[in-house]
Amino acid sequence: YIESDDPAILAKSEELMKGDRRIKHAVTVFYDFVSSGVAYKPYKGKTSAVTALKLREASCNGKNRLLVALCRSQGIPARVAGGLVLSKKKREEAITKKTTHSWTEIYINGQWVPFCPTNGYFAEIPAHYLELYKGDRAFIIRTKNIDFDYRWKVSERRSSEEEVLYTNATNYFNILRLWATLEQASISLNLLVIILTIPIGATVVAFARNVIGLVPFGTFMPALIAVAFRDTGLAWGVILFTITILSCGLFWPLLEKAGILHVPRMAIILTLEVMIIVGIALVAINFGYKRAAAISLFPLAVLTLTTERFVISIIEEGWSPTLQRFAVSLLVATAAYLVMRWTFLENLIIAYPELLLSVIGVNLLLGSWTGLRLTEFIRFRSLYLRGPNEMSGQET
């Protein structure tokens, strides 16, 4: 029982508020009084709110009972919460102290806001506060005059993305609730991140084409290649992509000379790609590169389409221009991968998917770009290096 209706508590709360009935003001002055005006003393047992007010000193539970009593006396919902203050010890090391710590939670604007007047935390508690109970109660109740001992053992365990998702998806209109619903439909969070970041990868490709002047294979092929790199990692993805494309490109003319139709030819190329991927994965794993185990998940459709464009480019333009476009495709795909795998951007887009509207705005700007591309400055650099008199003399 917390004496929120005690005359001394009521009188003190009115004195502190000084006629200002705003909740923010009341909570602030009550907290300041308990935090600074009531000294901390490590008393054993319980200290009531009235006792803490009279003595102007109390343990952490007494200080928080006084803060709760002051708030409740003015109709502000408040409660005591408690738990452990974790120390910075090694993982799996037992915590041997037997005392819990308490703080106050005040209901403000639809949510419980924590306050710790003992350690000076206003409207927050640090991450190493582990809450175990709510309410003004003893955490362990035992029979008197018996031999009783206990200890705490706390170990660290990282929460998975799914656990964090469901923990925070409490509000029905919260976007995390939508993701949790999709999770129940067996649509993984990783797949959602990939889907939401593909437009960003496509924007990187559009920037490379329109502003820089880099022309890779396909319209958005580098963005799809960047998605494929998520499974393999950037280094293994580039290695696999290069070996597979070049190997199939060298084999393509043999199939063309054999007079095989296009679709069966692509089926043979797909078979070769599977064999190459499995072979590289087995060799890499035998040499201790465990990361290569994900190579088998490399999207074969992207490889097949890229191989087809690679070979057609060889036939139409020759090896030198084709290898240049191949290098450009790898460069743009790498840039798209780095942007799409930026952790800050992934978290931002999964929390605020409406930001995809800004991607549309960026592409509207890129679509109206009428200036010279950066590669064109290099291409026509001889014109810029000439003086105006030299250029006018040549025209004459």
Highest mean pLDDT among 69-78, 135-144, 342-351: 69-78
> What pLDDT shows up at residue 156?
66
Q: Is 68 helix (H, G, I), strand (E, B) or coil?
A: helix
203-222: average pLDDT: 87
Those residues whose C-beta lies under 8 Å from the C-beta of residue 143, and which sit 6 or more positions away, are: none
Q: Does position 304 have pLDDT exceeding 80, yes or no?
A: no
pLDDT tens, position by position, 234-284: 887 888 888 888 888 788 778 878 888 878 887 888 788 788 877 877 887
d(Cα 190, Cα 245) in Å, to the nearest integer? 27
Q: Would you tell me how many other CB atoms lie within 10 Å of the CB of residue 255? A: 19
Q: Report how far Cα 361 is from the mean position of its chain's Cα atoms.
A: 24
Enumerate the CATH 3.10.620.30 domain ranges in the chain, comma separated. Answer: 7-157
pLDDT tens, position by position, 148-189: 777 776 666 665 555 555 555 444 445 555 666 666 666 667
pLDDT tens, position by position, 118-143: 888 898 888 888 888 888 777 677 77
Pick the closest to residue 49 from 32, 30, 64 (CA basis). Answer: 64
363-378: average pLDDT: 82
- The structure tokens 């490889």 sit at 303
Could you please report the per-residue DSSP string of 229-280? Answer: HHHH-HHHHHHHHHHHHHHHHHHHHHHHHTT--HHHHHHHHHHHHHHHHHHH
7-157: which CATH number, 2.60.40.60, 3.10.620.30, 3.90.79.10, 3.90.1640.10?
3.10.620.30
Residues 297/233, Cβ–Cβ less than 8 Å: no
